[in-house]
Structure 1
Amino acid sequence: MPLETFEYDSAEFLGCEEAIAEYLLAASEDGDANHIARALGVVARARGMSDLSRNTGLTRPALYRALSGDGNPEFGTIAKVADALGYKLNLVLKSDRGSTAAVK
């Protein structure tokens, strides 16, 4: 008897802001731009791609393409999407640089 499988969609499990924030944090930890773009795409689908399209001024097809993880979105597009979703991009000094001085 063949094994029955079901398609898994992460967007279905991002029902609250805490889950979304944790999901985006985990996706950003390795610094892979495609992974971050794909995670933003999942969050966008969870929230509604039409709303994101209106808020960013980008078409739905352009958003799907840019946030697929296979596209090559410009940094400005990623920043615009993050902002429209209520997030900001933040650069943090790596802890393995050997410095104990705080960055202000």
Structure 2
Amino acid sequence: MDGQAIFDISFQIICSSGEARSMAMEAISLAKEGKIEEARQMLADARTEINKAHKHQTNLITSEANGEKNEVSVLLIHSQDHLMNGMTVLDMAGEFIDLYERMK
């Protein structure tokens, strides 16, 4: 893929990952308020959003595995950090929601 394609994909990963992370944090806040079902729905929506970012990453990996050379940039690396962070926050949000539900 050329540099522009990598640039575009990087920003798509950053945007979807950031949105998913924000939604997961909102889900935690909802659970803290005792709104467990709303929190679970928000987390489900966050998972849908993180899957968009993950799909872009998978496409990059697949193209490289098929022999296509991809330009690696600092922005692409940064997007991977966002994706990993988003995935971690989503996992932790699920645990927090479970804990808040038990406390309720």
Whether these two folds match at TM > 0.5 is: no
TM-score, reference length from structure 1? 0.32
The higher-RCO structure (CA 8 Å, 6+ apart) is 2
TM-score, reference length from structure 2? 0.32
Larger helix fraction of residues:
2
